[in-house]
């Protein structure tokens, strides 16, 4: 089997703007992204695609809220499962169509994936990830009382639910990912960071939490022995002093150098920070290279002509 590349794409990258967020719009954007994924597969890489699902889960939670007087609210772990399947379907269909046009005989399979988190993770005592719609003060009080949710006011716009964001520790379906790769498939897995589950003795149980999709991608890449992790984001390269007059693009850097920039707080926790953390985590697990770039430069980045390359 050829070297494995894990490609992590953001859920936000499937939505170009607020007025282009319908399923049809997302499918069209996915088709564009899949042309770049096909380039990677055509170059001889075995590919696992992971993806975010933040906006899509938000849409589902809003629909659930609007229908709450007729149907039960949808649990967060079920929202993750539903959006994994929905986005996976878009990627499967788009990539299969692209392969067919190029004469590439390669199956594409979506695997709804559970990711184990530690029930003792401190994140469960400090919910910090805002999700879903805005509620009034009265609605928030009722939800806290009836469902046990944690809600906090968000910049004067209303109250939003906060959930934990624990670190991933194990990918339940890792053997199935490996089996599908050996069969020659492109595998779509760990959507939205995976469905967060805890182990209760031998049983699995879903929990209301959100796993960072780049950390989950890093974990999966390390567990399946991937050579390369590619993180697709909104910018072509990682920058020092981003947005300032002296911003500097990073081309090829060592993991040690990148760690020093992270420690110097060059990368905010709300944007590039988690991606750099995931990159360093993957390299510590034995990975050889992490590439960070935008969708349009994926093929050039893998050819060494674009993007930021972090080497072990």
CATH number where 193 lies: 3.40.1160.10
Number of neighbours of residue 141 by Cβ within 10 angstroms: 13
How much is the mean pLDDT over the chain?
92
Do 180 and 63 sit in the same domain of this protein?
A: yes
Residue 205 annotated in active site: no
At which residue do the structure tokens 């599908």 appear? Answer: 180
Q: Retrieve residue 294's tokens.
A: 């935008």
- The count of structural domains within the chain is 2
Do 216 and 258 sit in the same domain of this protein?
A: no
Q: Retrieve residue 249's tokens.
A: 């693009």
**Chosen domain end from 196, 226, 256:** 226
Q: What is the pLDDT of residues 27-51, one digit of tens each?
A: 999 999 999 999 999 988 899 999 9
Range of the domain at 105: 1-118+172-226
Residue of 11, 54, 191, 194 with catalytic role: 11
At which residue do the structure tokens 């499918």 appear? Answer: 27
Q: What is the pLDDT of residues 62-96, one digit of tens each?
A: 898 889 889 988 999 999 999 999 999 999 999 99
Which percentage of the chain shows pLDDT scores above 70?
A: 100
Residue of 54, 88, 194, 275 with catalytic role: 275
Residue of 97, 106, 129, 142 with catalytic role: 129
Q: What is the pLDDT of residues 96-108, one digit of tens each?
A: 999 999 999 999 9
Residue 273 is assigned to a structural domain of this protein = yes
**Chosen domain end from 181, 207, 226:** 226
More confident residue, 172 or 201: 172
Do 5 and 86 sit in the same domain of this protein?
A: yes
Q: Looking at 49-167, list the stretches that DSSP marks H as alpha helix, in order from N- to C-terminal side.
A: 54-66, 76-102, 137-147
Residue of 12, 58, 106, 158 with catalytic role: 12
Q: Which pTM was predicted?
A: 0.92
Do 202 and 243 sit in the same domain of this protein?
A: no
Using CA atoms, how far residue 206 sits from 80, 199, 210, 236, in Å, is 10, 9, 11, 36
Residue 222 annotated in active site: no
Do 221 and 111 sit in the same domain of this protein?
A: yes
Average confidence (pLDDT) over 117-124: 96
Residue 12 annotated in active site: yes
pLDDT for 1 beyond 90: no
Residue 142 is assigned to a structural domain of this protein = no
Residue 288 annotated in active site: no
Q: Which of 287, 312, 310 is closest to 218 using CA atoms?
A: 287
Residue of 53, 213, 259, 307 with catalytic role: 213
Residue 158 is assigned to a structural domain of this protein = no
Q: What is the pLDDT of residues 245-280, one digit of tens each?
A: 999 999 999 999 999 999 999 998 878 999 999 999
Q: Retrieve residue 307's tokens.
A: 């993007």
Number of neighbours of residue 201 by Cβ within 10 angstroms: 4
Do 102 and 215 sit in the same domain of this protein?
A: yes
Residue 41 is assigned to a structural domain of this protein = yes
- Answer for the pair 248, 219: CB distance below 8 angstroms, yes or no: no
Please give the pLDDT value at position 254: 97
Do 112 and 253 sit in the same domain of this protein?
A: no
Do 94 and 181 sit in the same domain of this protein?
A: yes
pLDDT for 214 beyond 80: yes
- The interaxial angle of helices 213-223 and 174-182, nearest 10 deg, is 60
At which residue do the structure tokens 């564009």 appear? Answer: 32
Least reliable range by pLDDT among 127-136, 190-199, 289-298: 127-136
Average confidence (pLDDT) over 133-138: 88
Helix then strand then coil, in percent of the chain rounded to 5, is 40, 25, 35
At which residue do the structure tokens 């349009």 appear? Answer: 296
Do 220 and 269 sit in the same domain of this protein?
A: no
Residue 158 annotated in active site: no
């Amino acid at each position: 089997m050829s070297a494995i590349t894990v490609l992590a794409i953001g859920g936000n990258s499937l939505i170009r703007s607020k007025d282009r967020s319908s399923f049809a719009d997302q499918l069209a954007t996915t088709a564009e992204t899949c042309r770049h994924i096909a380039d990677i597969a055509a170059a001889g890489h075995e590919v696992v695609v992971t993806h975010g699902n933040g906006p899509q889960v938000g849409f589902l939670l809003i629909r659930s809220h609007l229908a709450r007087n007729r149907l039960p609210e949808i649990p967060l772990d079920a929202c993750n499962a539903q959006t994994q399947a929905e986005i996976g379907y878009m990627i499967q269909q788009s990539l299969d169509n692209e392969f067919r046009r190029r004469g590439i005989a390669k199956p594409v399979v979506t695997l709804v994936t559970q990711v184990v988190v530690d029930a003792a993770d401190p994140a469960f005592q400090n919910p910090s990830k805002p999700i879903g719609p805005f509620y009034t003060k009265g609605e928030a009080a009722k939800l806290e009382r009836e469902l046990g949710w944690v809600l906090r006011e968000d910049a004067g716009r209303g109250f939003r639910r906060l959930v934990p964001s624990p670190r991933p520790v194990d990918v339940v379906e890792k053997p199935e990912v490996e089996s599908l790769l050996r069969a020659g498939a492109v595998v779509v897995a760990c959507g939205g960071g995976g469905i967060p589950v805890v182990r209760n003795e031998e049983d699995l149980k879903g929990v209301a939490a959100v796993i960072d999709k780049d950390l989950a991608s890093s974990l999966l890449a390390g567990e399946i022995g991937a050579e390369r992790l590619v993180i697709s984001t909104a910018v072509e390269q990682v920058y020092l002093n981003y947005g300032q007059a002296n911003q500097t693009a990073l081309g090829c850097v060592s993991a040690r150098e990148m760690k020093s920039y992270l420690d110097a707080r060059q990368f905010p926790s709300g944007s590039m920070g988690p991606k750099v953390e995931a990159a360093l985590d993957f390299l510590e697990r034995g990975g050889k290279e992490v590439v960070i770039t935008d969708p349009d430069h994926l093929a050039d980045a893998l050819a060494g002509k674009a993007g930021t390359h972090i080497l072990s």
